Structure 1
């Protein structure tokens, strides 16, 4: 029965001596190279053998059959190729001739490989630049990076940008490695086949594993958010929802819910709530509610239109401690609009760690936190600020 073993490659793909030595070391342990992947190498278990490996760089990702045949006549069997590098093996007892006897000729052959890698690095750098501009606009355009991080929507795109940055760096390093190899060959120096100490191998393998793990987790993050996040029309009464309801702060007689603006929608977006998830805030609620009193005006007989109070709530249950203050500051920036910071007042309250209020006419806002819970309420109507504070603190304590 054939036994297959997969091993994380110990170095970036352009490090020729490290891979040649590693493949030989694995063969001596009874693991014989079968296929080389992006991060892993596939081996077949068997008897330990003393096998030499050589890697040939080529401008073609598929080795020409004529070249394979020529190397075979020298005693080298084609194993597999990855990127622009192709692996050949030969039993040590064959004492096969080196693939390239003329360093200058091989140096000329590598010029096209270097050019292709450099061109790809340039294209990748341009794409990376555009991605960085886009991501930076998401993170910093309104000066609320902590809120963006907590919401978690931009995390996959950010990791993708890091992946592109890593790819760009690898292409540039690969081009530089081939350039250095060409210089050595031009100076008449033969290719070295001795790898550095194995400590470097372990470090490269661990780094590649961690990076691969991060990329994998970021790939499934949008799927988790898609499954966990949901939006629904607010029920008329909901005692268990940890959000401040319009009827709890506005006691005006005759207040009823506004009619949906679009009857074709399954959700009344004028009266809805959503449940959201992110790695740093696994519990998030957001709600918007609007009401109307028929015949009631904003100001007595002023003709300013019907009285239409609204309330907008956001609640966050954070996972790591110590993020509440920064999140509150970002929420104030996100919803401050044209308001000045001097219009925000911090109040000491025995039941919460932090309480900030903002009032301008009929607009009233409350920012509160306790432990890992942060709440934001924006109300537009005639209710007193004290009622909004009382209800907001009650919802915060509901999480404790």
Structure 2
């Protein structure tokens, strides 16, 4: 007999419908043999066949030899067990003797299944507060939600978790309710109806397909992210940069980059550029430079004058997020200066859609957005960063 695999288009917790489906398939010459992700049928001569589903009990996960022998005497043959939940029996008799004639006694066979579903329901409900908390933290309670999402967020991963939890909870709740209603029906003395029209339902397979799809997207994006990330010393970098270089700001002819190369990583903290990306931020660059003018001191005489500059550049996928991202960058940067005096100035005459400069002692910060591009420049030194906003814009536009 040839083995044929098919998707099971019925919910096994709809016992009568599942039995009717197997009987219909038998009339077409397809006899259920095993049920996993797919339903396995054996191709044979069409024959009227009656099926019954019996819930698995706590003490007998698989039917004992005595049970199988007794059922065979009554005209029933054991077929297989579905998902450790139901055993399937079949009979080729047109009107076989029912396995259970007393509905009240039959209700006791569902006790273990109801306990399993209740436990699964409680566990799934515990996952809901965790899901809500994760969403609240990421998008509502987080003080910088847009910055967090663009900088760290993997939306495909979060969406996959949300889909999985919400669908699982709804399915467990639905199945638990069905079994509770059926148990109450049996306890009231009303027998289970066996011949019932079944409804085609491929929703679980669609859901599983979505989970597999999002899993592949998440895994693929993770590997791509790891492979795509890079950092390079500016002394070796030949490409364009997303902002102004420190040497453009410092006008003193004795200015030079102060190289500081890590023996372990080879990274030059005197000048490096790095790249990564997220689902919302298609491009994210960070650039840092440090320099020195050896015959010049800081005004307080503490040490040799050593200016530095860092740049964060974002090119995001959705333009409407640019304003929120810039506001979050400003708010995040000013956290360090809330107990120090600073001057906040919005630049009105600018090529940027919006531009802001903040000054506090020797530190100056420039924030600008243009279309889907957002840049944050922090300069530590004595030159006026505001004079170079046109240079910053040209660098951002060309990048």
TM-score by length of 2: 0.80
Q: Deviations over 1:231-276 (max 9, x none)?
A: 3333356452334332233334333334437422243456432221
Q: RMSD over aligned Cα, in angstroms?
A: 3.6
Displacement after TM superposition at 1:323 (Å): 2.5
- The whole-number CA distance in structure 2 between the counterparts of 1:391 and 1:13 is 67
1:78 corresponds in structure 2 to: 79
- The whole-number CA distance in structure 2 between the counterparts of 1:189 and 1:251 is 93
- The whole-number CA distance in structure 2 between the counterparts of 1:26 and 1:391 is 74
- The whole-number CA distance in structure 2 between the counterparts of 1:155 and 1:117 is 31
Structure with bigger gyration radius: 2
1:277 partnered with 2:274: no
- The whole-number CA distance in structure 2 between the counterparts of 1:270 and 1:105 is 81
- The whole-number CA distance in structure 2 between the counterparts of 1:64 and 1:398 is 73
With over 3 angstroms needed to count, the CA separation of the structure-2 counterparts of 1:258 and 1:117, relative to structure 1, is farther
What does residue range 149-298 of structure 1 map to in structure 2 within 5 Å? Answer: 149-155=149-155, 158-159=158-159, 161-162=161-162, 163-193=164-194, 194=196, 197-198=199-200, 201=201, 206-235=206-235, 238-260=238-260, 262-268=262-268, 271-298=271-298
Q: Indicate the SS of the match to 1:304.
A: coil
- The whole-number CA distance in structure 2 between the counterparts of 1:189 and 1:157 is 47
With over 3 angstroms needed to count, the CA separation of the structure-2 counterparts of 1:233 and 1:94, relative to structure 1, is farther
Q: Does the CA-based 8 Å contact 1:11-1:204 persist in structure 2?
A: no
2:38 corresponds in structure 1 to: 41
**Structure 2: 5+ residue stretches without partners:** none
With over 3 angstroms needed to count, the CA separation of the structure-2 counterparts of 1:352 and 1:55, relative to structure 1, is farther
- The whole-number CA distance in structure 2 between the counterparts of 1:343 and 1:282 is 32
Displacement after TM superposition at 1:393 (Å): 0.8
Bigger Cα displacement from structure 2, 259-268 vs 103-112: 259-268
1:346 corresponds in structure 2 to: 346
- The whole-number CA distance in structure 1 between the counterparts of 2:314 and 2:155 is 17
What does residue range 136-151 of structure 1 map to in structure 2 within 5 Å? Answer: 136-140=136-140, 142-151=142-151
Q: Alignment partner for residue 55 of structure 1, among 34, 53, 56? A: 53
1:389 partnered with 2:389: yes
With over 3 angstroms needed to count, the CA separation of the structure-2 counterparts of 1:208 and 1:292, relative to structure 1, is same
**Structure 1: 5+ residue stretches without partners:** none
Q: Indicate the SS of the match to 2:309.
A: strand
Displacement after TM superposition at 1:226 (Å): 1.9
Q: Does the CA-based 8 Å contact 2:160-2:214 persist in structure 1?
A: no
Q: Indicate the SS of the match to 2:242.
A: coil
Q: Indicate the SS of the match to 1:282.
A: strand
- The whole-number CA distance in structure 1 between the counterparts of 2:306 and 2:11 is 63
Displacement after TM superposition at 1:139 (Å): 4.6
- The whole-number CA distance in structure 1 between the counterparts of 2:391 and 2:72 is 81
- The whole-number CA distance in structure 1 between the counterparts of 2:362 and 2:10 is 64
1:64 corresponds in structure 2 to: 63
Q: Does the CA-based 8 Å contact 1:5-1:31 persist in structure 2?
A: no
Paired residues in the alignment total 390
Q: Indicate the SS of the match to 1:391.
A: helix
